[in-house]
Amino acid sequence: MKSIYIVGVGLIGGSIARDIRCLNPNIKLYGIDKNEAHLETALKLGIIDEKAVLEDVVKAQVVIVAIPVDATVVLLPEILDLIPDEALVMESGSTKLEICNAVAQHPKRRNFMATHPIAGTEFSGPKAAYSGLFKGKVNIICEVEKTAFKFQKVAMAIFNIMGMQIRYMDPASHDKHIAYVSHLSHISAFMLGKTVMEKEKNERDIFDMAGSGFASTVRLAKSSPDMWAPIFQQNKANIIETLEEYIKNLKTFKNFMEANAFDAIYQDMKNTNYIKHILNGKE
């Protein structure tokens, strides 16, 4: 690998680029982004070596796509059209079914690997990128059997440098499960932030009372709507299902409160405490 093109030089793409630096000092990293300011910043920070445009991927050995999922669905077939036969294309979107379907019949489907590195922060842009973001994190690979083995080897070399744990899943299962453990968390944070901000219009001291618990719970509400609105759209059916279950539990909690059923509330919380054992096993 001597020429790698990063499409989208923000948090995810920029962090992948920083890790790739460790692969081989002779690798040249090119950045493609519709935001010229992001490209300039990535260049100044040393995330990329040169700016490029989409048509330049005709010279690529690896192309990594790290842009919002709606843009990925449109650009991915175009990128596969342009790349040479011996190039690998990967993307990092938080939904997989619509993206995989977009290239299912493409003549260069074997050149493509669908991945979802489950890592990130609430910040965006190249300034948010840092080396080590993905270390120890899970990377979901979908439809690996549709990627040629020689390209799988190239991808695994990159993932090993990034220090990721690999899991395999079909796109539909990925989208269903990620709706619960990621997408619902972001919706909850956005709606909590919205609720408190609306209340703060009349009660100006409310944020003075906000402690670390509120800050950690609402942290994801600082995430980019440009990235998350398309995710919610692509995974609409699964997210509605998770919201129905979440709203049901909220209503049950409210009913317990109204009925002074605090023993039931205590038992619900105690049962839910078991989640710390599940999460501790992942740390």
* pLDDT value of residue 108: 98
- Dihedral over Cα of 261, 262, 264, 269: its sign: positive
Note the Cα 137 to chain centre separation in Å. Answer: 12
Distance CA 75, CA 102 (A): 10
Q: Which residues pair with 62 in a beta bridge?
A: 4, 88
**Euclidean distance between CA atoms 165 and 115, whole angstroms:** 12
Domains parsed from the chain with CATH numbers: 3-170 (3.40.50.720), 173-280 (1.10.3660.10)
Structure token digits, residue 59: 């010279």
Q: Tens-digit pLDDT profile for the chain (283 aa)?
A: 689 999 999 999 999 999 998 877 789 999 999 999 999 999 999 999 999 999 999 999 999 999 999 999 999 999 999 999 999 999 999 999 999 999 999 999 999 999 999 998 888 999 999 999 999 999 999 999 999 999 999 999 999 999 999 999 999 999 999 999 999 999 999 999 999 888 777 666 777 777 778 888 888 999 999 999 999 999 999 999 999 999 999 999 999 999 999 999 999 999 999 988 887 765 4
- Contact status, residue 63 vs residue 87, Cβ threshold 8 Å: yes
pLDDT, residue 30, reads 98
Q: Which residues contact 52 (CB under 8 A, 6 or more apart)?
A: 5, 30, 31, 32
Query: Residues 6 or more apart from 186 whose CB is under 8 A from it?
Result: 220, 221, 223, 228
- State how far the Cα of 100 lies from the Cα of 109, in Å rounded to an integer: 9
Give kind and range of the element (H or E) at residue 245. helix 236-258
Q: Fill in the DSSP letter of residue 164.
A: P
Q: Which of 42, 48, 102, 66 is nearest to 227 (CA)?
A: 66
> In terms of pTM, does the model score above 0.85?
yes
Q: Rounded to the nearest 10 degrees, how much is the dihedral formed by the CA atoms of 94, 7, 2, 146? A: 40
